[in-house]
Amino acid sequence: MNVLLVNLGGLGVIGLIVWYFWLSSSSGTAAVVTAGGVQETKVIVKGGYSPDTIRVEAGRPVRLLFDRREADPCSERVVFDAFGVSAELPTGTEVPVEFTPTEPGEYEFACQMGMLKGKVIVS
């Protein structure tokens, strides 16, 4: 009986891990348009990106303010391959990353190792 309970508990934990890392998705955070017309959002870097999904409009400049609050070497750099942009993220410093998306779609950003991931949804 104990073996059965341990196995069921293990399967439950595996199911939660699969759901959290691969099946769950957030609706995203809409970037706020500043007085200068730039779409802007602050992104906290601590074990991941928060928010990890950012909604913006095509044709308007985007400024993401990355605030790294950890010392993990994986999060030292953020890379936006689709826009040809990357930036070093020193701990405790707010770093602006700017680009202008021209086409609607979903564009991923990640740490230099590809372990921390996020996306920009352009409409």
The confidence score (pLDDT) of residue 24 equals: 58
Where exactly are the structural domains of the chain?
Answer: 27-122
What would the mean pLDDT of 95-117 be, rounded to a whole number?
A: 95
* Each residue's pLDDT tens digit, 3-50: 888 888 888 888 777 766 666 555 678 888 889 999 999 999 999 999
The confidence score (pLDDT) of residue 22 equals: 63
* Each residue's pLDDT tens digit, 40-90: 999 999 999 999 999 999 999 999 999 999 999 999 999 999 999 999 999
SS3 per residue for the chain: CHHHHHHHHHHHHHHHHHHHHHHCCCCCEECEECCCCCEEEEEEECCCEECCEEEECCCCCEEEEEEECCCCHHHHEEEEHHHCEEEECCCCCEEEEEECCCCCEEEEEEECCCCCEEEEEEC
What would the mean pLDDT of 91-111 be, rounded to a whole number?
A: 96
**CATH fourth-level superfamily of 27-122:** Cupredoxins -  blue copper proteins (2.60.40.420)
